[in-house]
Amino acid sequence: MTCYFATFEPDEGGFLVTFPDLPEAITGGKDRAEALANAQDALEVVLLTYLQDGKAFPPPAANTGEPIAISANVEVKIAFIEAFRASGLTRVALAARMGKQETEVRRMLDPYHATKLASMEAGLRVLGKQLVVSVRDAA
């Protein structure tokens, strides 16, 4: 699970949230719960933007704040896009292997397009990857 650390600082009327490893990710909230939800959203937007722009993710620094995990949907989307890029396949070739139209594969490769988990899992399998899911107690 991808996790980055955020700092929560009291701010006028709530909390300011920043990520030392991702300076573009700045958000806040009127209370801690809202700030935490907004932190996950900000983190995901920045990571998907990095992915779309072809930028490498900086490695998360250890213990520099509160850990914020990305959602399972975004985790799978990132894994799929990275596996596709590493494969050397074209979208047309991947579509043929998946038995789909190229336009559907193009949408699957769009970081901001919501794709069904079953489609992402099938795509990962074609790319030689296996999706593994685990559940644990919430912190």
Give tens-digit pLDDT for 59-108.
887 677 899 999 999 999 999 999 999 999 999 999 999 999 999 999 99
Amino acid code (one letter) for 121 = E
Q: Where residue 136 falls among pLDDT bands split at 50, 70, 90?
A: confident
Task: Specify the pLDDT at position 138.
Answer: 75
What whole-number distance in Å separates Cα of residue 120 and Cα of residue 138?
25
CB 65 within 8 A of CB 77: no
Domain definitions of the chain by residue range: 3-69, 72-126
Q: What percent of the chain has pLDDT over 70?
A: 98
Level-2 CATH architecture, domain 3-69: 2-Layer Sandwich (3.30)
Q: Is the pLDDT of residue 40 over 90?
A: yes
Q: Where residue 134 falls among pLDDT bands split at 50, 70, 90?
A: confident
pLDDT in tens, 114-131: 999 999 999 999 999 999
- Tokens representing 28 are 């806040």
CB atoms within 10 A of CB 63: 8
- Tokens representing 128 are 């030689």
CB 19 within 8 A of CB 25: yes
**pTM for the full predicted model:** 0.87
Strand partners for 69: 3
What order of strands is seen across the sheet that includes strand 3-11? 26-29, 14-18, 3-11, 66-69
